[in-house]
Structure 1
Amino acid sequence: MHVSQGRSAGLGLALASAFAFGGSGVAAKPLIEAGLDPLHVVWLRVAGAALVLLPVAWRHRHLVRTRPVLLLGFGLLAVAGVQACYFAALSRIPVGVALLVEYLAPALVLGWVRFVQRRPVTRAAAAGVVLAVGGLACVVEVWAGLGFDALGLLLALGAACCQVGYFVLSDQGGGSPAPGRSGTDAARTSEPPNPVGVIAYGLLVGAVVLTAVTRPWTMEWSVLGGDTGMNGAQVPAWLLLVWIVLLATVVAYVTGVISVRLLSPAVAGVVACLEAVVATVLAWVLLGEHLAAPQLIGGVLVLGGALIAQSSTPSAPTGPVASGPGGEPEAAGSELSARRVAL
């Protein structure tokens, strides 16, 4: 009964996390259309969430010594790179399309494994890649000469590539103790890093990098004091910012990490795919962005291909990991952890 209750709670938290993450693009797009630069919106999200999670970073400050490469990779690629590309894409293409393009990341990881690392992949994994690419062709309407802005699609693809870079970097920096380390540092290095700690430091690194790149002091701060349009309705800009920082980042990450501890990574990954569905529905209801029937079918194919590719990825651990209910370390799923930083 206890196990059943734990799984039910985990499923509920995973669903809550998927809904929270799925709304980030919908909340960000009106701010961009109101006059904020996409990179400035990214900076507001990352810096705000980093400030909220600062106590968590302090608690896990040993990660700076034991996992510096992982933290830098997470901050540069999974935070700064993914979000900058994703939010820039939102200024040119619909939310649902940008997110579905980003879901090519698991397929691209398999491409890296097969052609760069020269490791074999299963037939199911190859089928997943073909399915995802075919679905993407429907989403972007290739028969119409690309139905969306080409630069926007390239930016969304850039977000997926940044995720791949993070997956690869995480895979290279396993959990073995570094030469010359002993005692507490060696034990901590050999243990799976706390995923919330990695997220907190990734946000801090991303905030520092984005501050240098975006120069937030040049931002149109007056936009945050006004209203923004959402499909004809007027919504306070500051309320959308609170939504992005607290709900779509902090709450989404915390519920997502806890759900992975209560569920298997595979189940949590499947539930995470609801993010794309949530984002598409919210964009339809709140922003008036409609996708045609072929695009909806293509979206289903992309998600199906991503699920097959993710479940067929070679079992070498990548990305932050979390401890399961029984105390045994289990992979948190790099696709789950890193993809969500972008959303």
Structure 2
Amino acid sequence: MPMRTSESSRGRSGKGAGLGLALVSAVAFGGSGVAAKPLIEAGLDPLHVVWLRVTGAALVMAPLAVRHRALLRRRPALLLGYGLLAVAGVQACYFAAISRIPVGVALLVEYLAPALVLGWVRFVQRRPVTRAAALGVVLAVGGLACVVEIWSGLGFDALGLLFALGAACCQVGYFILSDHGGEPGGAAAPDPLGVIAYGLLVGAAALTAVARPWTMDWTVLAHPARMDGTAVPAAALLAWIVLVATVLAYVTGVLSVRRLSPQVAGVVACLEAVIATVLAWVLLGEHLSAPQVVGGVVVLLGAFIAQSSAPAKSSAEPVASGGAERELAARGTAA
């Protein structure tokens, strides 16, 4: 009996630590756009900010890549897909979006990804989905209509909204690829931290070719950037983006999923959009209207229902439900 009590206590302690890690990860991820936008407004191209973020994080995570070097042989397609889509694609589109539309709106549009995955499953793969999942899609789309205030003729920059939708599509692309890239021979799933480390390296290489960092105005980093009129050292913002909003965010996110169920971790991860919106409101002065706030809540509710709904009885496992892929799906790939 005392042993069972001790095990129960350890279980509660582990879940408490997992929730704490998940909250840290949500706050860290949520602060990426708020720190990046002043750098973009100071004169850096969004692609250059993404390159700095991904390359800096890749250098920090390089020891993990060395430790998991067997992944290069075992899962090259997974690493390539994660690096190009979940890292380079998502972040490049997200940073391009926030250069034109509010941070909160961009992130909420990105949260259409679970609904888009289900759309792929239902209409492309022609696999049935549950009514709850369909309800989640309807809620997410309806909430998004409120976020972008569709009744006013899409008052936001159309290109910015397209970039945000591109970030969501990159997430969908990664989950679809990972769904078809199961571990050969039924071997153990790869360590998600190793996948992240190599994904950052692949993303950094791809972004180097696209962003051409040698054309960047490096002097911007030596001067203050403006955060809603307040001068903040640009180098400090970059350090936050690399060390906190990327390295710490990914590591704590994966560690939280190992202590919690993917569904619970996914719910906490949805707080990222809330935190990003609040931070943008307080630090950047980006105010959302009441209908947009309500729409944002509906988007998150729909995304949660779509992501956590069980597959229909006649269907196979849902997209991105395997080992490492499921942990990364629960954490999210964003922003």
- Tell me which residue corresponds to 2:57: 49
Contact kept, 8 Å, 2:65 with 2:198, in 1: the verdict is yes
Contact kept, 8 Å, 2:224 with 2:233, in 1: the verdict is yes
- Tell me which residue corresponds to 2:204: 207
Pick from 163, 187, 190: which aligns with 1:190? 187
Change (3 A) 1:30 1:197: same
Pick from 292, 296, 299: which aligns with 1:299? 296
Residue 160 (1) aligns with residue 162 (2) = no
Q: Secondary structure at the match of 2:184?
A: coil
CA distance in 1, matches of 2:251, 2:92: 22
CA distance in 2, matches of 1:95, 1:319: 29
- Tell me which residue corresponds to 1:321: 323
Q: Secondary structure at the match of 1:53?
A: helix
- Tell me which residue corresponds to 2:121: 113
Change (3 A) 1:285 1:320: farther
RMSD: 1.3
Pick from 213, 222, 225: which aligns with 2:222? 225
CA distance in 2, matches of 1:333, 1:221: 33
Q: For 1:22-75, what per-residue CA distance to the aligned partner results, in whole angstroms no more than 9, with x for missing partners? A: 000000000000000000000000000000000000000000000000000001
CA distance in 1, matches of 2:302, 2:123: 19
TM-score (norm 1): 0.92
Contact kept, 8 Å, 2:192 with 2:328, in 1: the verdict is no
Contact kept, 8 Å, 2:182 with 2:322, in 1: the verdict is no
Q: Secondary structure at the match of 2:168?
A: helix
Q: Secondary structure at the match of 2:226?
A: strand
CA distance in 2, matches of 1:5, 1:147: 47
Contact kept, 8 Å, 1:226 with 1:237, in 2: the verdict is yes
Q: Secondary structure at the match of 1:193?
A: coil
Contact kept, 8 Å, 2:176 with 2:319, in 1: the verdict is no
Contact kept, 8 Å, 2:121 with 2:128, in 1: the verdict is yes
Residue 86 (1) aligns with residue 94 (2) = yes
TM-superposed CA distance for 1:232, in Å, is: 1.4
Residue 145 (1) aligns with residue 153 (2) = yes
Residue 273 (1) aligns with residue 232 (2) = no
TM-score (norm 2): 0.94
TM-superposed CA distance for 1:18, in Å, is: 0.5
Code of the aligned partner of 2:251: V
Residue 26 (1) aligns with residue 34 (2) = yes
Change (3 A) 1:317 1:168: closer
Contact kept, 8 Å, 1:30 with 1:229, in 2: the verdict is yes
Contact kept, 8 Å, 1:16 with 1:255, in 2: the verdict is yes
TM-superposed CA distance for 1:333, in Å, is: 5.4
- Tell me which residue corresponds to 2:4: none
TM-superposed CA distance for 1:176, in Å, is: 2.4
TM-superposed CA distance for 1:175, in Å, is: 1.4
TM-superposed CA distance for 1:320, in Å, is: 6.8
Contact kept, 8 Å, 1:320 with 1:331, in 2: the verdict is yes
TM-superposed CA distance for 1:321, in Å, is: 2.9
Q: For 1:110-135, what per-residue CA distance to the aligned partner results, in whole angstroms no more than 9, with x for missing partners? A: 00000111100000000100000000
- Tell me which residue corresponds to 2:138: 130
Q: For 1:261-296, what per-residue CA distance to the aligned partner results, in whole angstroms no more than 9, with x for missing partners? A: 111110000000000000000000100000000000
Pick from 12, 22, 25: which aligns with 1:17? 25
Change (3 A) 1:108 1:156: same
CA distance in 1, matches of 2:323, 2:52: 27
Residue 176 (1) aligns with residue 184 (2) = yes
TM-superposed CA distance for 1:313, in Å, is: 5.3
Code of the aligned partner of 1:272: A
Structure 2: where are the runs of 5+ without partners?
A: 1-8, 312-316
Structure 1: where are the runs of 5+ without partners?
A: 178-188, 323-329
CA distance in 2, matches of 1:148, 1:316: 34
Q: Secondary structure at the match of 1:229?
A: strand
Contact kept, 8 Å, 1:194 with 1:320, in 2: the verdict is no
Change (3 A) 1:39 1:319: farther
Pick from 307, 332, 335: which aligns with 2:327? 332
- Tell me which residue corresponds to 1:182: none
Residue 248 (1) aligns with residue 241 (2) = no
User: Percent same amino acid among aligned pairs?
Assistant: 75
